[in-house]
Amino acid sequence: MEKRYQRHRLWSWTAGAAAARTGDEMSGPALLLAGLAATGSPASASALLAGATAAAAVGGPLVGVLLDRSPAPGRLLAAALAGHALALTAVLGCLGRVPLGWTVLIAAGAGLLAPALSGGWSARLPSVVPASALPRAGALDALTFNAAALAGPALAGGTARLAGAPAGVAVSAALICLALPAALRLPRRTAGAPPYPLAAEIAAGFRAVARVPPLARATAVTTISCAGEGMLVACAPLLGERALGGAGHGALLLAGIAAVALAAGALSVRRPVHPSPDTVVPVSALLLAAATALAATGDPVSLAVAVPLAGIGQGTQLTALFAIRHREAPARLRGQVFTTGASLKLTGFAAGAALAGPLALWSLPGALLTAAAVQLLAALPGVTPCAREAARRRRERGAGTDERP
């Protein structure tokens, strides 16, 4: 009976996470399409997305510390979900009716709460399952991200085509609201809120990310790796146009990567990987480096190899990153570790995408090779300690052999 109850709680949590994250992944493309339809200006449409993205990068630490301090984190998470959905609806109502600056400000309010949909859900997973089930549950958590990344943009485009661009924003808000019951069912916290000032708690969260060596390495690798991924995404339309005959084929490349990442995540749920997650994180960046370098050739056969490589890299990286965070994050700072890490990754992605635009106009292969170099740079913080540990073990085995009579 107890196992059945735990299984029910896990699937309720997973369904809520999947709905919220799909709505979040849908909201970005939907805002772009709705902004373009309402204003006719690509610059105005991108301003909406930029406002939401920048605020999400800033809001992570604050959302995390509030979740860590709340005696009822599920209720706070539900309030954040409702606020995010309400802000998206308000953006929809304001588009074309009020000055753009105010609409962008509302979009930023939605983005400020977005880390609750990502790191906020993940941080509450240990309250849902026992410690023995956490590795498999963490892989399931990563799977919802990959599924959302694949389904969200497709739903935004399909809804806009069938019912108009504004409908995509409405559907994304509705999906986020579907997660409210699961959030409200999350267990309450038994311990009281820490007696520390809010600013001190935020600083403690940053220190935990920076000073716990496995957390610091994983955060550095994945943040820099996200910059490389942002460059690849920004180059995808031009790559599709030049290599496959149409800019729209670039979206198909990204969809293929997301599909392989989803498959890799599903495999991790069924058969948890044996290598240490500390090893998987930097190796995944090396796979992404190889995939991006292959894409730089512009050869269709090379692209056919690059897509599964990139998907495996993305899928395994996220699963391993969550395993490290669950293992290393201090219990009272868990929410901050997850949401701050999400904010840093988002910042890296945005920086990479911004850098890739001018580079791709100069040289598409040059931009993709730069992205591959960024992935190699990302692997260094994780590869170096692994190499040192392997060398130490070889020395110990050698010393043991020398001592034998």
Q: What percent of the chain has pLDDT over 90?
A: 23
Query: Between 155 and 50, whose confidence is greater?
Result: 155
- Indicate whether 257 and 401 sit together in one domain: yes
Does residue 400 carry a pLDDT above 60?
no
- Indicate whether 166 and 247 sit together in one domain: no
Q: Is residue 367 part of a domain?
A: yes
- Indicate whether 122 and 175 sit together in one domain: yes
| Mean pLDDT, range 65-86, rounded to an integer | 88
End-of-domain residue from the set 187, 210, 229: 187
| Mean pLDDT, range 167-174, rounded to an integer | 91
- Indicate whether 99 and 214 sit together in one domain: no
- Indicate whether 291 and 239 sit together in one domain: yes
Kindly report which listed range (25-39, 263-277, 315-329) carries the lowest average pLDDT score: 263-277
- Indicate whether 210 and 180 sit together in one domain: no
Cα Rg of the chain, angstroms = 21
CA distance 230 to 394: 38
Query: What number of other Cβ atoms are within 10 A of residue 10's Cβ?
Result: 18
Q: Is residue 192 part of a domain?
A: no
Kindly report which listed range (125-129, 137-141, 280-284, 393-397) carries the lowest average pLDDT score: 393-397
Listed residue (226, 231, 359) closest to 295, CA to CA: 231
CA distance 252 to 220: 29
Over residues 202-237, the pLDDT tens digits come to 788 888 888 889 999 999 999 999 999 988 888 887
Kindly report which listed range (34-48, 168-182, 269-283, 385-399) carries the lowest average pLDDT score: 385-399
- Indicate whether 183 and 328 sit together in one domain: no
Specify the pLDDT at position 274: 66
Q: Angle CA(168)–CA(172)–CA(178) in degrees, nearest 5?
A: 145
- Indicate whether 354 and 269 sit together in one domain: yes
- The answer to whether the beta carbons of residues 143 and 258 sit under 8 Å apart is no
- Indicate whether 228 and 118 sit together in one domain: no
245 conformational bin, left if phi > 0, alpha if psi -120 to 50, beta if neither: left
Q: Is residue 322 part of a domain?
A: yes
Over residues 343-366, the pLDDT tens digits come to 888 888 878 887 887 888 788 899
Specify the pLDDT at position 404: 45
Query: Between 134 and 391, whose confidence is greater?
Result: 134
CA distance 364 to 357: 9
- Indicate whether 165 and 226 sit together in one domain: no
Residue 345: give its domain's CATH number.
1.20.1250.20
- Indicate whether 180 and 248 sit together in one domain: no
| Mean pLDDT, range 141-160, rounded to an integer | 85
| Structural domain boundaries, residue 37 | 1-187
Query: Between 378 and 244, whose confidence is greater?
Result: 378
pLDDT band per the 50, 70, 90 thresholds, residue 375:
very high
Specify the pLDDT at position 403: 47
Query: What number of other Cβ atoms are within 10 A of residue 298's Cβ?
Result: 15
Does residue 393 carry a pLDDT above 80?
no
Q: Is residue 193 part of a domain?
A: no
Q: Is residue 97 part of a domain?
A: yes
Kindly report which listed range (47-61, 73-87, 229-243) carries the lowest average pLDDT score: 47-61
End-of-domain residue from the set 187, 214, 248: 187
Q: Is residue 261 part of a domain?
A: yes
pLDDT band per the 50, 70, 90 thresholds, residue 192:
low
pLDDT band per the 50, 70, 90 thresholds, residue 330:
confident
Does residue 405 carry a pLDDT above 50?
no
CA distance 82 to 175: 11
SS3 of residue 298 by DSSP: coil
For helices 334-362 and 213-244, what crossing angle results, to 10°? Answer: 30
End-of-domain residue from the set 187, 213, 230: 187
Q: Is residue 169 part of a domain?
A: yes
Q: Token pair of 208, please?
A: 């935990």
Cβ burial of 391 (10 Å; 0-12, 13-18, 19+) is exposed
CA distance 327 to 337: 11
CA distance 281 to 261: 14
- Indicate whether 69 and 207 sit together in one domain: no
pLDDT band per the 50, 70, 90 thresholds, residue 3:
low
Domain count, the chain: 2
Over residues 49-64, the pLDDT tens digits come to 777 777 777 788 888 8
